[in-house]
Amino acid sequence: VGKRSKGALISIFLDTGNTPLWRRLGDSIRAAVTQGVLAPGARLPSARSLAADLHLSRATVEAALSALEEEGLIVRRIGSGTFVSTSAGRDVMPAAPAPNQRAPTPRPTALSERGQRLAVSGAPVLPVTRGAFTLAPPSDDFPHTTWARLTARCLRDHGSTLAQEDDAQGYLPLRQAIALHLRTNRGLKCSAENILVVSSTQEALILCAHAFLSPGDEVWMEDPGYPGAFAAFRAAGAQIIPIPVDSEGLRIEDGVRAAPRARMVYITPSCQFPCGVTLTAERRLALLQWAEASGALVLEDDYDSELRYSGLPMAAIHAHDFGGRTLYAGTFNKTLFPSLRIAYLVTRPEWVRELVAVRSNFGGPPASSVQATLAAFLGEGLLGAHVRTLRARCEERRETLLDAVSRELGPRMDLRAGATGQHAIGWLSEREDDRAVSLRAAAAGLDVPPLSRYVLVHPQPPALVIGYASASPAAIRAAVRTLSRCLPAPGAE
Ligand SMILES: Cc1ncc(COP(=O)(O)O)c(C=O)c1O
């Protein structure tokens, strides 16, 4: 992992493969324009700052900008900068106005250079195709009536207090309930003072990145890995060091070799995203020993850990961390419902207090009334019951997918569903181009991203990432038949 790989990091937003880097950069700028992130007339960051931010060579950036200029997508004015052409992105502009309406004049974006870079690197702005395989939890089983009852009770009994409640660390009874849940289910040794309530794992990641990393600090990231974490570290100016993943999870030895003095490690040990493997006990120990000796921080993203279908769940890394080097992130947005916007970060009390102060720069905790309802939900033991229902639901769908893929796709796909989580990896024949299959599937209404989308630098064989939790068994079977039509017929070359 050296200069070359740093330059390749931007590939997480782009198609990977054999495409030259300058062309991929050009593609990403073009995508930002056609998706409307960069409006016609918007100023682009300078070539120098683009090269610095994206860890690319100046020559690569120049090559990309020259090609876009030749295409007419951007205009470069000596002395004043580079702009998106005012005729660019016509295909996404609103339809022509009726004769009695005034045509809107395209306005340059109000975003700063930094704002524009964040807009390009942040969450996808295109609406996601919500097909049967979308990476989303089931929506069938959430006990909305019970939730409504608890909400009503909280508001009736504590409405005026909740309206004024202002604990910047998070509503105390919720922190107490989360701590009890984590002590019982994930082996964490924690209490309410270790917990910071946040709105999402993403908020926890961005907060940790900004609070603990200086620009240029090295961070190990799983490769392939979670784009949300990549975006958070990149926004903080960190130097991302991609570390390969194998069937035992993150290859700790490779990390120690590549960046022995890294400041932070981001890891999804229960269910590696996107490969789905569980980090072995030996590697957990090796990671903690190295972190303790080197003074690195371990940012543990424990999403999906409750959905384990076979074998015993492994305790979180945080549970074995006696040196207090772990920042543990968990979320209710996947187990309860995505728009809940409640997650948590668990770490040393003194760091929690500092993080509260850092967070106050850009926001605060989620609404107290929602936190109170969740506290009541946990307090009544309803989370455990819901997770059991969810697990049974997901397991049924996982089995359906495994069965349908083996019947319909046979040797064309080797489907591997890890023991935990809500998605599987469908390995394709070596000859297949996963991006092309994914595009054909998108045209047929299926959302199956290619594994290469999550690759930083270490190439993977072609594969699709297939969510199985959000659709009914019948919809899954129908979607597998559709997917079959997006792959070459059996025996065809
Ligand atoms: C690796 C990973 N972490 C965390 C999350 C959950 O994120 P949030 O709480 O930000 O919704 C997801 C969601 O898919 C994920 O894939």
Count Cβ atoms below 10 Å from residue 313 Cβ, excluding itself: 16
pLDDT at 91: 34
Q: Is the CB of 333 under 6 A from ligand 1?
A: yes
> Could you tell me which of 5, 7, 1 has the C-alpha nearest to residue 57?
7
The pLDDT of residue 298 is above 80: yes
pLDDT at 5: 38
> Ligand 1 centre from 241 Cα, in Å?
21
The pLDDT of residue 111 is above 80: yes
> Ligand 1 centre from 343 Cα, in Å?
10
The pLDDT of residue 12 is above 60: no
- Provide mean pLDDT across the span 368-390: 96
Atom of ligand 1 nearest to the CA of 205: 10
The pLDDT of residue 277 is above 80: yes
The pLDDT of residue 313 is above 90: no
Atom of ligand 1 nearest to the CA of 331: 9
**CA-CA distance, 250 to 256, in Å (whole number)?**
11
Q: Structure pTM? A: 0.80
Handedness of CA 145, 151, 156, 157 (dihedral sign): positive
Higher pLDDT, 38 or 250: 250
**CA-CA distance, 467 to 338, in Å (whole number)?**
15
Q: Is the CB of 239 under 6 A from ligand 1?
A: no
> Could you tell me which of 471, 462, 331 has the C-alpha nearest to residue 404?
471
pLDDT at 122: 67
- Provide mean pLDDT across the span 314-338: 94
Q: For a pocket test of ligand 1, which of 273, 335, 337 has the largest count of ligand atoms closer than 8 A to its C-beta?
A: 273
Q: Is the CB of 198 under 6 A from ligand 1?
A: no
Helix count and strand count (H, E) for the chain: 16, 14
Q: Is the CB of 284 under 6 A from ligand 1?
A: no
**CA-CA distance, 267 to 277, in Å (whole number)?**
12
**CA-CA distance, 225 to 179, in Å (whole number)?**
28
The pLDDT of residue 99 is above 70: no
Q: What is the 3-state secondary structure (H, E, C) of 336-374?
A: CCHHHCCEEEECCHHHHHHHHHHHCCCCCCCCHHHHHHH
The pLDDT of residue 54 is above 60: yes
Residues 398, 420 contacting (CB under 8 angstroms): no
Cα dihedral value 225, 306, 470, 444, nearest 10: 20
**CA-CA distance, 214 to 238, in Å (whole number)?**
7
The predicted-structure confidence for 118-136, as pLDDT tens digits, reads as follows 777 666 544 445 678 988 8
The pLDDT of residue 8 is above 70: no
CA–CA distances in Å: residue 258 to residues 3, 219, 342: 12, 11, 35
Handedness of CA 113, 115, 118, 123 (dihedral sign): negative
Handedness of CA 64, 65, 66, 69 (dihedral sign): positive
